[in-house]
Structure 1
């Protein structure tokens, strides 16, 4: 079986790359333009007068399906993991480079969150 042949360190790197790319797709501001065609903005006014904006997936069709997918970190993570794994298994050096960059960025993100929690921000 192929999984037994992949070292744990490699699986860890693939997991970190998948984590970072999933967060990039689902949450990060820089990819908001990719998500926006699949969501409607709904504005609600609170009792104190402040307004909250919620993103709801489009009502029907392919845009609804993609919107549902993008609104679920876990769902998007499965597809991203599949893509990252296929990229790795192709053996293309460019793919390895992209995976490494995403894994290093994930480690940096995790460290940033831990430090922010530690110093109280």
Structure 2
């Protein structure tokens, strides 16, 4: 198996974007909700804050632990994207390309925002 630098870069950006989508983005919150319990705590100012804790046992607990770890989820997503690219490239490449473009755009936007905030 031979992978070019461009393919590696596309898979990397796609993995980055899909991992962030699954672990952090609000649009996928409904997918994460069954695997977490909400805990309310009061902070030092007396305001209530909501914390998400993975379920305690079973498959839901395991998935909750996985989703609470960005690095762990990233490994599984990278493996799935790579296997899809390897086994079903015709169907997976458009998805990988879209995710890679979105991931590259997100990184570029973050860099520009960081650069602009340093000037002010």
Q: Shorter-chain TM-score: what band? A: over 0.9
Tell me which residue corresponds to 1:75: 72
The C-alpha deviation readout for 1:10-53, integer Å capped at 9, x for no partner, is: 11110110110000000000000000000001111112112221
Question: 2-side partners of 1:18 and 1:101: how far apart?
Answer: 11
Name the SS of the counterpart of 1:36 in structure 2.
Answer: helix
In structure 2, list runs of 5 or more residues that go unmatched. none
Tell me which residue corresponds to 2:82: 85
Tell me which residue corresponds to 1:37: 34
Aligned pairs (5 A) from 1:47-62: 47-62=44-59
The C-alpha deviation readout for 1:29-88, integer Å capped at 9, x for no partner, is: 000000000000111111211222111000111100000000001110111011100111
User: Structure 1 length normalisation: TM-score?
Assistant: 0.92
Tell me which residue corresponds to 2:20: 23
Question: 1-side partners of 2:88 and 2:44: how far apart?
Answer: 56
Tell me by how many angstroms 1:104 deviates. Answer: 0.2
Question: 2-side partners of 1:56 and 1:82: how far apart?
Answer: 26
In structure 1, list runs of 5 or more residues that go unmatched. none
Pair 1:117-2:114 in alignment: yes
How many residues are paired up?
Answer: 118
Name the SS of the counterpart of 1:120 in structure 2.
Answer: helix
Tell me by how many angstroms 1:91 deviates. Answer: 3.9
User: Structure 2 length normalisation: TM-score?
Assistant: 0.93
